[in-house]
Amino acid sequence: MNGSEVLDQVGWLSVWLLGLSVGLTTCTAVCLPYLGTWALGQGRGGGAAALDTGAFAAGKIAAYALLGASAGVAGEVLPGLLRGDVGHWLIGISAIVAGVWLILPRKAQRRCGLSREQRLSPFSMGFALSFTPCAPLAALLTATATTGDPLLGGLYGVVFGLGAALTPLFVVIPLLGKLGQQLQLQRPWMGRWLLWSGGGVLVVIGLRRILSVA
């Protein structure tokens, strides 16, 4: 039985449930230190943190769509690459970039053409963290790898990503954003401290990821 037949038998709902199993377990545990540190450091309230979480989820859906389509083209090569160090490098680099972005003064951000209110970093972190190897993702890619159809693989990647996007992070991250905002309101001096400490933590965990495979 080839991958296309496997996917046809599994069905769209089963692929979505496979993604949901990631969103309710692996995603929360792996992603919380990254997105939680970002939201707390930003300290812009629950609403802004919820939008950041949405951007993060969009990054994951985009990544899974790309992975599914790529597996349809590259075959068994892609699952093998994900079991290597590619994911660690992507996660480490995105965390370091997000950390530096938190630390940068607003004037420097404007010169780059972006501001903290834009959600490039949550999207990029969500995209990079989707390359974390896990059993459900490996099962999906192994099946789509044998189809030779990038469109089919991409569609299944989107459905998988929509399941993975349903995560407790949509509850936890806004609470951390609200906590950061309250701390800044009660103690205005903490605003800069939260940004620097949050940025520093992201840089450290990003470096740790890279050094673990370097």
Q: Where are the domains of the chain?
A: 3-211
pLDDT, one tens digit for every residue, the chain (214 residues): 444 455 555 577 888 888 898 888 877 888 888 888 888 888 888 999 999 999 999 999 999 999 888 887 766 555 555 655 666 777 777 778 777 877 776 554 455 555 544 556 789 888 888 887 777 887 887 777 777 788 888 898 999 999 999 999 999 999 999 998 888 888 777 767 777 787 788 888 888 878 877 6
Per DSSP, helices labelled H in 104-134 are 106-111, 120-129
Provide the pLDDT for residue 203: 84
- Give the predicted TM-score (pTM) of the model: 0.77
Provide the pLDDT for residue 62: 94
Helices first, then strands: H and E counts in the chain: 11, 0
Phi and psi, residue 134, nearest 5°? -150, 160
